[in-house]
Structure 1
Amino acid sequence: MNKKGTRFFGLGGFQEIGKSTAVIEHDDQIFIVDAGIQFANGSLTGIKGIIPDYQYLIDNEERIQGLFLTHGHEDHMGGIAYLVQNCNIKRIVAPSVGISYIKFKLDERKIKTNIEWIEIDKNLVLTFGDMKVDFWSAQHSIPDAYGIRFTNRNGSMFFTGDFRIDYTPIGSYPDFTKLEQIGQEDLTVLFSDSTNAMRPYHSPSEKDILKAIREYMEQAPKKIIITAFASNMSRISAIIKIAQEMNKKVVAFGHSMVNGINIARQLGYIDVDDSIFIDKKHVSKYDDNELLILTTGSQGEALAGLAKMAEGKHPQISIKHNDLIIFSSSPIPGNRIKIELLINDLYKLGANIKENKIDGYLHTSGHAYQEEHRKIFELTKPTYFFPYHGEFRMSVVHGRTAEKAGVNPDNIVIASHGEVYEMLDRKIFKTNDKIVSNPIYIDGEIASAKNTKLINEREQLGENGFVYISLLIDKEKADIVGRTKIITRGTLYVKSSTDIISDIRRIVHGLVLFTIKNSNDWTSSKLKKYIQERVKSYFYKTKRRSPYVCISIQYLDDLKFVTIPKEVNA
């Protein structure tokens, strides 16, 4: 009888930051680790985020034992609302903060479920047949972060989740004893956060960050505005405590900032007098030097609170001369230009801006640097290592750190999405199976594979513009009625491109007449295809552009009244 191995693969999170989603299959059971979202960059116009394709999980939902959540950040739990809408997830095992965030999101979207909620603590051990699941107390920028270990007859897998090691933390230490235990119990494969794998040495301490923030707050003559990642609950909580010590009143702006603070207060992570918080409608009742404003917008988001303040469009807050604005954050890749433009606008209003690294350390990442990675390898002693939750270059460097720490280079695997691996007798093999793991774009509140076509069209329109061609055909006479009408946007300026317009009209006119006079089986769809091919080819040759070509064909025989679009200059 053949032994049955444990299969695993990633739907998201490999060779990328965001949409962390790993799947383990063992004895006809499925275990999901995280279900994250990836935030869209500026090139994906109108797209809220990206999640993995969940079709494999939907097709096998009866085998799913549960979703196991490492912590309550969007890149690890932001896809859950979309997953549970389409797939029967009967059990979610998560930290208390993560459960609060998930329930809030489900309530907000009016999603009804029958989920069994199991709250993680460091002593929790769950058993599913031959599979044992236990947990490691990690340290991250949000309280209640955990690593998760899965152990069965074929070996063990340990997911660190996002983590860092801070020896002077504002919260708790990571559980080094549990890491040593994992190492002593012969860890087969380690999946570890690669986000900051390229950064040498050790990450700065959160206490040093807060010391610098406090100094700037104490020097501020007017109101203080601090923008940070709303998900950095630990730092937000510490800043609010500083505000209480300085007798400041705190007001929050931005949906995610307000929600994060409310959840932290409900769970006791923000332990201050309720009187410190004021309603945003009552801001005008206080002098500027009494106020601490916590707001979203650290990444230059156009609709965030800080951007509205910079534009003078915020209903409660106006930026005045000598207001202090602290950016307690670092730019996410792709956001640097937006942030610089925002800061420039704030300077124009006379604000005193403090930026991370330019004005001292005002932010430290919740993700480990190389020395912290080395510590994890030394303690857990994995036989195999899979870099996880980091771009390809980060994964490569993380692998080098693993090799220096003693991991066999042949056992360091940079996996791709959908590649299926098998663990058998504490050895890892790559299989020939491949799971579909295409990105699914979220447009508004709709997540659909069809949105990929929509994105491609938006990109084409943004880069090349469009051409609209309108024809009226007399089928009986096999002729074109009137002139072919052409409307363009973002492709060329018609008044200075009359020769190009004439060429397009000539190409279309000749192509259509030849087709309808010489072909007995022509159709509207065939005509449109021929026109698109010829017009796109012409534009590429003359303008090195590939505009979106839209064609309207009407027939004189079918119309009583014909309205032909007026030609519009672009």
Structure 2
Amino acid sequence: MNNKNEILKHYEVGVFALGGLGEIGKNTYCIEYKNEIIIIDAGVKFPESHLLGIDYVIPDYQYLIENQNKIKGLFITHGHEDHIGGIPFLLKQLKIPKIYAGRLAEGLIKKKLEEHRLTKASEIVIFDDNDIYTFEHMSISFFRTNHSIPDSFGVSVKTPQGMIVHTGDFKFDFTPIGPIADFGKIAKLGERGVLCLLSDSTNSELPEFTMSERKVGESMKDIFRKINNRIIVATFASNIHRIQQIVEASVATNRKIAIFGRSMENTLNVGRGLGYIKCPDDTFITWNQLKYIDEKQVTILCTGSQGEPLAALSRIANGTHRQISIIPGDTVIFSSSPIPGNASSVGRTINRLFRAGADVITHSPLTDTHTSGHAGAEELKLMLQLIKPKFFMPIHGEYRMLKIHTELAVQCGMKSENTHVLDNGQVLALSKNNARVAGNVPSGTVLVDGSGIGDIGNVVIRDRKILSNDGMLVTVINVNLQKKKVLKTPYIVSRGFVYFKDSQELVREIQEVTVNHTHHLLKKHNKMSINQLKNELTDYLATFVYDKVQRKPMIIPVIMNIKQ
């Protein structure tokens, strides 16, 4: 730990998260021993509805900035945004010697760093499950897992106090698309002895095994065979296994595929370039080739499965997409489930699609169009029984998910005192026979808006909320401070507050009280600055407007001191 605030004893290993505990997203986990820090993943979180205008939420990297001389490397479990999306923002604030990633994740990270002009900021090393990286005190190795994206890995970190295992995002899929998880290596780790397990908790509430990805592929082919018109499929751009299933269903039914959505295009380019998405060369077509092909032989693959306002499917549903619109008889397939909080926006998109004349198929017991990439309760128990850890720290989940995961660990024979549900920033101090919560490192959330990192604070978010709810009222007043006079009738500007043509009486009243109260303030005080006048007038007008219309617009007085 930082010398200014030693919270670890000299022989202890510290494990802590800067993001990913008590939340879904911004996964960033650290293991520290003496003069070495290993970082596992660097993700982003997508903003909730109250964070108006914010693009991403990232962890506070202050502790890593202060201790960057200890950092040995950033190890990536897989290529999803909540695990790699924070890398450009991390590299803008500190130096990472090397980034270690699987082949697909390396391709996606490279693309991301090109967009941010950071290609020379750090070296990217491609690893596979046979590689071992050894540092002075710790060594890192990997085991293959199954998830909704290829090249997903768990990470094992050998420390002087014992082995620490991080599962990454995983499920146990016995009929996967691609290589099966390395059960043998996972079991061997358990036989050798694991000091602490950090395990994915996202689906801990699901009381069963997660459905196999292959079943979705079979279901998708059946659906495609029954549809005679154009098919539009919306899914996560990062779900490469699902994209491969959609490609196979399209090829099997002699359909050409057109791609819409920038993130989907990027993923397709990387996935095809690395051989993860396989199909005949003429399978994909451009949007301007659509008019030459029979609608019955077309699949449109797009982003927007979560109802995101600017994603391709939302614009298609709204009729605002420049290249494509709904044709009555189209079938839209949602190959995803709504993320908590997105159900209403997904519902609005579905209603608009129906209104435009499309049929919509969503995931249900009768139509298996989606399965999770995360382990259900039975798979989490299997991981616990294979690894047999001495201590357990659930990760990647909201608090209830972490708590339920610890209950599963107790069911598997662990002592409850050996399980630890932590918050971001809390440090679990580990030795051979002991685990304790030792203290905290700096942690928190940083908001990213455009190119600004952390320059948007609570005050700006509050102002945006006021503007979105009640609008803005600007009053422009010419005064002569020397003579203590208002020189002319104030000019009033309203944006999102009232429509002037329908509110002439209210506008006249605001002008009148502005003049009267400004006169009163100028006469009352011998000497008054422009700023004092603005503050007093703002408070007065806020009360007046609320009494009149029960609204609280942002009030901005603009006061011009005309000396002659």
TM over 0.5: same fold? Answer: yes
What amino acid is aligned across from residue 226 of structure 1 in structure 2?
A: V
How far 1:500 sits from its partner (Å)?
7.0
What amino acid is aligned across from residue 210 of structure 1 in structure 2?
A: G
In 2, Cα distance between equivalents of 1:288 and 1:366: 32
In 2, Cα distance between equivalents of 1:530 and 1:432: 46
In 1, Cα distance between equivalents of 2:538 and 2:157: 55
Q: Do the aligned residues in 2 keep the contact of 1:221 with 1:323 (CA within 8 Å)?
A: no
Q: Do the aligned residues in 2 keep the contact of 1:125 with 1:134 (CA within 8 Å)?
A: yes
In 1, Cα distance between equivalents of 2:380 and 2:516: 67
Alignment of 1:194-213 (within 5 A): 194-213=201-220
Which secondary structure does the structure 1 equivalent of 2:389 belong to?
A: coil
Deviations 1:169-193 (A, max 9, x none): 2222222222222222332222221
In 2, Cα distance between equivalents of 1:126 and 1:192: 22
What amino acid is aligned across from residue 559 of structure 2 in structure 1?
A: I
1:388 is aligned to 2:395: yes
Alignment of 1:315-330 (within 5 A): 315-330=322-337
Structure 1 window deviating more from structure 2 (39-48 vs 248-257): it is 39-48
In 2, Cα distance between equivalents of 1:283 and 1:499: 56
In 2, Cα distance between equivalents of 1:553 and 1:426: 69
In 2, Cα distance between equivalents of 1:541 and 1:423: 60
Aligned partner of 1:564 in structure 2 is none
How far 1:384 sits from its partner (Å)?
2.5
Which secondary structure does the structure 1 equivalent of 2:157 belong to?
A: strand
In 2, Cα distance between equivalents of 1:425 and 1:514: 75
1:257 is aligned to 2:264: yes
Q: Do the aligned residues in 2 keep the contact of 1:150 with 1:157 (CA within 8 Å)?
A: yes
Aligned partner of 1:227 in structure 2 is 234
1:461 is aligned to 2:467: yes
1:353 is aligned to 2:376: no
Aligned partner of 1:475 in structure 2 is 481
Aligned partner of 2:102 in structure 1 is 95
In 1, Cα distance between equivalents of 2:546 and 2:422: 38
1:274 is aligned to 2:281: yes
1:304 is aligned to 2:317: no
- 2:248 aligned residue (237, 241, 245): 241
Which secondary structure does the structure 2 equivalent of 1:38 belong to?
A: coil
CA separation of 1:324 and 1:495: change in aligned 2, threshold 3 A: closer
Deviations 1:510-532 (A, max 9, x none): 66455544545632223323333
Structure 1 window deviating more from structure 2 (389-398 vs 417-426): it is 417-426
What amino acid is aligned across from residue 456 of structure 1 in structure 2?
A: R
Alignment of 1:68-147 (within 5 A): 68-147=75-154
How far 1:249 sits from its partner (Å)?
1.8
CA separation of 1:448 and 1:114: change in aligned 2, threshold 3 A: closer
How far 1:426 sits from its partner (Å)?
4.3
- 2:439 aligned residue (432, 443, 462): 432
Q: Do the aligned residues in 1 keep the contact of 2:38 with 2:71 (CA within 8 Å)?
A: yes
Q: Which runs of 5 or more residues in structure 1 are unaligned?
A: 561-570
How far 1:114 sits from its partner (Å)?
4.9
What amino acid is aligned across from residue 196 of structure 1 in structure 2?
A: N
Q: Do the aligned residues in 1 keep the contact of 2:139 with 2:159 (CA within 8 Å)?
A: yes
CA separation of 1:485 and 1:290: change in aligned 2, threshold 3 A: closer
How far 1:70 sits from its partner (Å)?
0.6
Aligned partner of 1:449 in structure 2 is 455
Which secondary structure does the structure 2 equivalent of 1:379 belong to?
A: helix
Aligned partner of 1:567 in structure 2 is none
In 1, Cα distance between equivalents of 2:534 and 2:393: 50
Structure 1 window deviating more from structure 2 (542-551 vs 7-16): it is 542-551
How far 1:102 sits from its partner (Å)?
0.5
- 2:535 aligned residue (506, 517, 529): 529
Deviations 1:3-26 (A, max 9, x none): 332223222111000111122222
How far 1:109 sits from its partner (Å)?
2.8
What is the aligned-residue identity percentage?
35
How far 1:498 sits from its partner (Å)?
8.0
1:554 is aligned to 2:540: no
In 2, Cα distance between equivalents of 1:492 and 1:225: 41
In 2, Cα distance between equivalents of 1:305 and 1:504: 44
How far 1:541 sits from its partner (Å)?
6.4
Structure 1 window deviating more from structure 2 (117-126 vs 38-47): it is 38-47
Aligned partner of 1:568 in structure 2 is none
In 1, Cα distance between equivalents of 2:506 and 2:424: 46
Deviations 1:360-396 (A, max 9, x none): 2210011111111111111112233222121122222
CA separation of 1:472 and 1:316: change in aligned 2, threshold 3 A: closer
How far 1:131 sits from its partner (Å)?
0.6
1:25 is aligned to 2:32: yes
Which secondary structure does the structure 1 equivalent of 2:413 belong to?
A: coil
CA separation of 1:524 and 1:291: change in aligned 2, threshold 3 A: same
In 1, Cα distance between equivalents of 2:303 and 2:357: 20
Deviations 1:143-177 (A, max 9, x none): 00011122211233221111111222222222222
In 2, Cα distance between equivalents of 1:513 and 1:324: 66
1:366 is aligned to 2:373: yes
Per the normalisation by structure 2, the TM-score is: 0.91
